Amino acid sequence: MPQIVEVFRDKDELAEHVSREIIDKLAAAVKARGRASFVLAGGSTPRPIYERIASAEDHALDWSKVVVAWGDERCVPPDDPASNFKLAHETLLTNCRPAAVVRLRGELGPVAAADKYEEELASALGSPRPEFDVVLLGLGSDGHTASLFPGEPVVTGRWAAPAHGPPPHPERVTLTVEALNAARHVLFVVIGANKAAAVKQILEDDAGLPAALIRPAGSTTWYLDAAAAGHLTRPSDRLGRPGGE
Ligand code: 6PG
Q: Tell me the three-class secondary structure of 50-105, residue by residue.
A: HHHHHHCCCCCCCHHHEEEEECEEECCCCCCCCCHHHHHHCCHHHHCCCCEECCCC
Kindly list the distances between the CA atom of residue 116 and the CA atoms of 105, 111, 173, 212, in Å, as whole numbers in the listed order. Answer: 8, 9, 11, 27
Strand pairing report for 134-137 and 66-70: unpaired
Cα-to-chain-centroid distance, residue 140: 12
For 59-63, 97-101, 153-157, 239-243, which range has the lowest pLDDT when averaged over its residues? 239-243
Residues with CB under 6 A from ligand 1: 41-45, 71-72, 84, 138-140, 144-147
Q: Of how many residues is the chain composed?
A: 245
CA 70–ligand 1 middle distance (angstroms): 12
Q: Checking DSSP bridges between strand 3-8 and strand 100-101, what pairing results, if any?
A: unpaired
pTM of the model: 0.96
Q: Whose CA is nearest to atom 13 of ligand 1?
A: 43
Q: Best substitution site from 18, 70, 72, 91 to test ligand 1's pocket, by max atoms within 8 Å of Cβ?
A: 72
- pLDDT for 240: 59
Q: Residue 17 pLDDT > 90, yes or no? A: yes
**Residue 241: Cβ within 10 Å count:** 11
Q: What is the pLDDT of residues 108-133, one digit of tens each?
A: 999 999 999 999 999 999 999 999 99
The whole-angstrom separation of Cα 53 and Cα 27 is 13
User: How many CA atoms does the CB half-sphere of 108 hold within 13 Å?
Assistant: 14
- The per-residue pLDDT for range 37-59, each reduced to its tens digit, is 999 999 999 999 999 999 997 77
**Residue 211: pLDDT band with limits 50, 70, 90:** very high
Closest to 8 (Cα-Cα) out of 136, 188, 185, 201: 188
Contact 94/55 with Cβ under 8 angstroms? no
pLDDT for position 195: 98
State how far the Cα of 56 lies from the Cα of 41, in Å rounded to an integer: 19
- Please give the C-alpha separations between residue 183 and each of 38, 88, 230, in angstroms, as whole numbers: 10, 20, 28
Tell me the best of 18, 91, 147, 176 to mutate to test the pocket of ligand 1, counting ligand atoms within 8 Å of each CB and taking the most. Answer: 147
Distance 139 CA to ligand 1 centre (A): 6
